[in-house]
Amino acid sequence: MTGVDDYPFPLPHPTYRISANVEPAGVERRTEAGSWGARILHDGPDRPAVAAERASILDRESARFVAAPHARASCWDACLYLLGRLATEQPGTCTLTRVPGRAGGWRFRDTATGTDREFVFGDDATLPEHPLRWVSRLVAEDVVVLGARGEALWLDAGAVAFASVWSIGFDAGMSFRELHGPVPGNGPGGVFERAECFLLRLHPGEAYRRLNWGLQPDDRRDLSLDAAPQWQPARTRLDLTDPGRQIHLRTEVQHLVRLPLTGAVLFLIGIRLLPLDGVAQVPAWRTRLASVLETLPPEVTEYKELEPLASNAAGWLRAQP
């Protein structure tokens, strides 16, 4: 589990504000407890374990991976981008090199996951499975490819094991605006319409990030609709005997990258969890989270399904010395 010192605390204000909160990726952000964000991909020692958990879910439930046939080129683009990012950001364990004398040939090695593979870019036969599915085994983040067509973005492909109350199988093929239809504040000219315009105007290779957040009564990463029978009963019962350890702040570190070869948008979602005990270690976070939970607009509380969890969390935080 992520420690306090590198946790991406998502609340900069004492009241909730609807905002795209988009900023350049790969820039270190200082917090009251330390810093985060110097790299795009999660590089903690738990990367292999989290990647293995994702792979286990994806192997067990085929509906968690989708890929439209027309997205093959953008999926290869995403695959090579992620391999290059791993090699750049985690040179102690990962390398990506050209294979001499083999047109389009590459070799990727990752000692942390035990991966050593030669492949030819664009040649499906040189990988054991779909390129996006294969590369998704190596990262802690869920991976989505948004195709750009007709001044709009469309969900063309994805390997998603840790969705936050949504399903990649249900959402596949939707437009960017359809995907965000239920979100408060998503009217004509709203924040998500502006966000789509922004993404469509990114230059190839440009990367930005944003944070999203919620609360949950446990440390489960997989909150997809596919797995609702496993996690929904705990939310309904809300049997809280030790809120400080049970209730977790769930932060999604979302990265948006304009892929360099096809112009598709790569959407990465990293889940970071911190129990209230951890939040309470940082006085500014303890006060701010309690204040935000106490002043949430009703439509946001309903959309995020935060009650009665929010009231319990705010009360526990306020009671800490």
107 is catalytic: no
DSSP-derived pairing of the beta strands 207-216 and 23-24:
antiparallel
State the helix-helix crossing angle for 283-294 and 309-318, rounded to 10 degrees: 140
**Residue from 299, 315, 197 nearest 256 by CA:** 197
Tokens of 12: 């900069």
> In the block, which residue shows the tokens 């390398």?
95
Angle at CA of residue 46, ends 157 and 279, nearest 5°: 100
Whole-angstrom distance, CA of residue 39 vs CA of residue 50: 17
- Catalytic residue, chosen from 29, 210, 220, 286, is 210
CB 151 within 8 A of CB 144: no
Kind of pairing, strands 105-110 and 94-98? Answer: antiparallel
Q: How far apart are CA 288 and CA 281, in angstroms?
A: 13
CB distance 249 to 212 below 8 Å: no
Cα distance between residue 298 and residue 312, in whole Å: 16
Residues 6+ apart with CB under 8 A from 151: 200
Catalytically annotated residues: 210
